[in-house]
């Protein structure tokens, strides 16, 4: 993974759960679920413990594909999951095939209860409610606003001219990444590879990622300053949930 991809951050990161945070919460829930299942004389396969570093940072594709090696091999398709993520997914898949008695105890007869639901309630006990819809609204609106910033619009035009010079007509990187042609197959076509490679090259030659990232951060900081109360509540909810999860993990 490139240093550029790993280094991408935004101000909202201070108010939202990272992938590693989610792993921490899920692991705490798993510990409680296992205790509940054992009380019913049933086994429970644990998820792997939280990783120390994220093998696939969440902003890696925020501005589309930016890594030459990824573009050359996968185009706009997602690379295979990292080994630690594969291990987690395998546990989730095995949970979908639990024997009926074990599944009912773990998830309830309707899939919405059981030990797992009880564990979630225990982790969330005393945690301030998070208005996820409002948070998502800020995330979506600021991302759209960043694309309307003059510096970003200028970078898009420069990128589009660069792509045109390579024989491809797209107005923005998101249009290239979202081309319906790439969705027709799980396999990456030669044209998709060619477009993705050109896309990454044009991002680099025009400085698009740096311009967009700077605008992204400015728009988010403005939103935080304008809605301080909302963001304080977002952070309080996140921090409280993580404290609860870490306390449960610490108690084993």
pLDDT tens across the length of the chain (252 residues): 678 878 899 999 999 999 999 999 999 999 999 999 999 999 999 999 998 888 788 899 999 999 999 999 999 999 998 898 999 999 999 999 999 999 999 999 988 899 999 999 999 999 999 999 999 999 999 999 999 999 999 999 999 999 999 999 999 999 999 999 999 988 999 999 999 999 999 999 999 999 999 999 999 999 999 999 999 999 999 999 999 999 999 997
CA distance 202 to 158: 8
Joined together, the tokens standing for residue 147 give 């694309």
Whole-number pLDDT of residue 77: 96
What is the per-residue pLDDT for 76?
96
DSSP type of residue 16: S
CA distances from 45 to 29, 101, 103, 143, 249 (A): 12, 15, 12, 39, 16
pTM: 0.89
Q: What is the dihedral of CA 117, 122, 128, 131, to 10 degrees?
A: -10
Q: Is the Cα torsion angle 119, 126, 134, 140 positive or negative in sign?
A: negative
């Amino acid at each position: 993974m490139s240093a550029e991809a790993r280094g991408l951050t935004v101000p909202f990161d201070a108010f939202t759960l990272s992938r590693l945070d989610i792993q921490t919460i899920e692991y705490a829930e798993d510990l409680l679920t296992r205790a509940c299942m054992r009380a019913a004389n049933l086994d429970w396969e644990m998820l792997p413990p939280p990783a120390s570093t994220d093998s696939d940072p969440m902003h890696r594709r925020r501005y589309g594909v930016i890594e030459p090696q990824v573009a050359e091999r996968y185009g706009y398709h997602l690379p295979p999951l990292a080994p630690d993520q594969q291990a987690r997914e395998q546990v989730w898949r095995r949970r979908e095939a639990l024997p009926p008695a074990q599944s009912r105890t773990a998830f309830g007869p309707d899939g919405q209860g059981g030990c797992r639901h009880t564990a979630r309630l225990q982790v969330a006990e005393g945690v301030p409610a998070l208005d996820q819809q409002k948070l998502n609204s800020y995330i979506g609106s600021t991302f759209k606003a960043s694309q309307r910033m003059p510096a970003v619009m200028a970078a898009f035009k420069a990128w589009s001219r660069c792509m045109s010079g390579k024989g491809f007509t797209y107005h923005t990187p998101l249009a290239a990444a979202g081309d319906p042609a790439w969705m027709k197959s799980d396999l990456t076509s030669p044209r998709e590879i060619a477009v993705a490679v050109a896309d990454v090259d044009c991002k680099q030659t025009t400085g698009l990622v740096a311009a967009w990232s700077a605008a992204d951060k400015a728009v988010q900081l403005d939103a935080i300053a304008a809605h301080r109360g909302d963001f304080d509540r977002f952070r309080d909810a996140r921090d409280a949930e993580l404290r609860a999860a870490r306390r449960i993990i610490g108690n084993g």
